[in-house]
Amino acid sequence: MKVALHTVGLVTVLIGATAGGCTPSGPVSGTSGCKPYVRKEWRRLKPPQRWAYLDAVKCLQNSPSLAPVAAAESRYDDFIATHQAQTEFVHFVGIFYPYHRLLLSEYEKALWACGWDRKLGQPYWDWTLDTGSEEEFLSSPVFHKKHGFGGNGAYIPGNLTHPQLPGFIGGPPFDIPDRSGGGCLTTGPFAGLTTKLGPQNISTGTTSRCVRRDFSYASLRDFSGTAQVQQAMALPDFGSFEFVTDTTTFHPGGHWAVGGLYGTMSDTYVSPADPLFYLHHSNMDRAWWSWQTLNLAVREKEIAGPLVFFDYANQLGGNATLTTPVWVGLTNRVEYPAGKLLHIRKGPFCYTYDEVYDYED
Ligand SMILES: [Cu+2]
């Protein structure tokens, strides 16, 4: 068996795509009632499109906050703030995937309001394109200085037992032996980016901290490679897909590959402070959708997994169901039952991916 890339749902008529308002319709393909916008892999966008996206993110960072959180100063911060406030209810639980699907959809609307192309959604980072070698990883178009998100931070020594960064609270629960950075982001369009949110669940922060990168190629190679995607696609039910990919393979893999020990992407609460968060989670959503399309009639109605943080043995609570509420936003809350968030062209969604992960025997 091998993993192959396979194009689905790419329709020819894309003009006039709007946010949400999808008419419920049949499965897969571009024949559904809505006119989907397309989420593309970062390197498949043309350079002017990449610049337009990066400009839209900067626009969010320069737009006033709407959230009732003192440390949130920009519209961009609002998304960090809601993610931070909700972290313990939306990770390592059944609604992990639907929550992040909704979060990205709302982020897209904000990007569109900042000039991003309405025919294009949140771009994604297909990790499997960058796992060939450390050189390939480091030279990924995603980290490009001009038409990407910039690269690694300067190297800071230290390890989990003996951290050498003042104020370090801790990212991953073990050392990242091959990590190669730790310093502030100093390259690319977001060089010098700071946040007052975090670290972790601290929400009263008034001190600006820089966004840090601490690259670890081995994390991407070992947790977010083709083998892990292939393994995920073969999982038989949503509960196992959610558990394996959220807790052990490509979800942590993408976070740790960029965040290492000291980097912002390894902070479960405020990882959206690094704009790469959204490319990583777009690919997470794409992986879920890829898995769903392998048996969509069943999987567009399938939800499982604990209600309580990491309670996979159900010792503290039950499991998520189709009616479990999922919401984002601290001011204007956007809320749906989980069951409305399981198809990317139904309920509030109307998008597609330029390619999905698929199997061929
Ligand atoms: Cu998250």
- In angstroms, what is the span from residue 251 Cα to ligand 1's centroid? 9
- In angstroms, what is the span from residue 92 Cα to ligand 1's centroid? 10
- In angstroms, what is the span from residue 168 Cα to ligand 1's centroid? 20
CATH number, domain 60-117+125-342, options 2.60.40.650, 3.10.20.30, 1.10.1280.10, 3.60.15.10: 1.10.1280.10
Q: 41-54 pLDDT, tens per residue?
A: 999 999 999 999 99
- In angstroms, what is the span from residue 246 Cα to ligand 1's centroid? 10
Q: 266-304 pLDDT, tens per residue?
A: 999 999 999 999 999 999 999 999 999 999 999 999 999
- In angstroms, what is the span from residue 230 Cα to ligand 1's centroid? 23
pLDDT at 231: 97
- In angstroms, what is the span from residue 104 Cα to ligand 1's centroid? 10
21: pLDDT strictly greater than 60: no
- In angstroms, what is the span from residue 78 Cα to ligand 1's centroid? 14
- In angstroms, what is the span from residue 91 Cα to ligand 1's centroid? 6
- Give CA–CA dist 348/326, Å, rounded: 12
- Give CA–CA dist 352/3, Å, rounded: 20
- In angstroms, what is the span from residue 87 Cα to ligand 1's centroid? 7
184: pLDDT strictly greater than 60: yes
Q: 243-268 pLDDT, tens per residue?
A: 999 999 999 999 999 999 999 999 99
- Helices 276-293 and 250-259 pack at an angle, to 10 degrees, of 160
- In angstroms, what is the span from residue 97 Cα to ligand 1's centroid? 9
pLDDT at 167: 74
- In angstroms, what is the span from residue 146 Cα to ligand 1's centroid? 27
CA nearest to 141, candidates 127, 155, 121, 153:
127
pLDDT at 254: 98
- In angstroms, what is the span from residue 102 Cα to ligand 1's centroid? 11
- In angstroms, what is the span from residue 284 Cα to ligand 1's centroid? 10
Confidence of residue 11 (pLDDT cuts 50, 70, 90): very low
First to last CA, the chain: 5
Confidence of residue 56 (pLDDT cuts 50, 70, 90): very high
User: For tokens 């320069």, what's the residue?
Assistant: 62
- Give CA–CA dist 332/265, Å, rounded: 26
34: pLDDT strictly greater than 80: yes
Burial 73-85 (b: 16+ CB within 10 A, else e): bbbbbbbbbbbbb
- Cis before 199? omega within 30: yes
- In angstroms, what is the span from residue 83 Cα to ligand 1's centroid? 6
CA nearest to 306, candidates 315, 316, 319:
319
- In angstroms, what is the span from residue 29 Cα to ligand 1's centroid? 28
pLDDT at 12: 21
Q: What's the predicted TM-score (pTM) here?
A: 0.90
**How much is the average pLDDT of 7-14?**
26
- In angstroms, what is the span from residue 344 Cα to ligand 1's centroid? 19
pLDDT at 166: 78
- In angstroms, what is the span from residue 16 Cα to ligand 1's centroid? 30
Q: Are 229 and 47 in contact (CB under 8 A)?
A: no
- Determine the residue type at 224: S
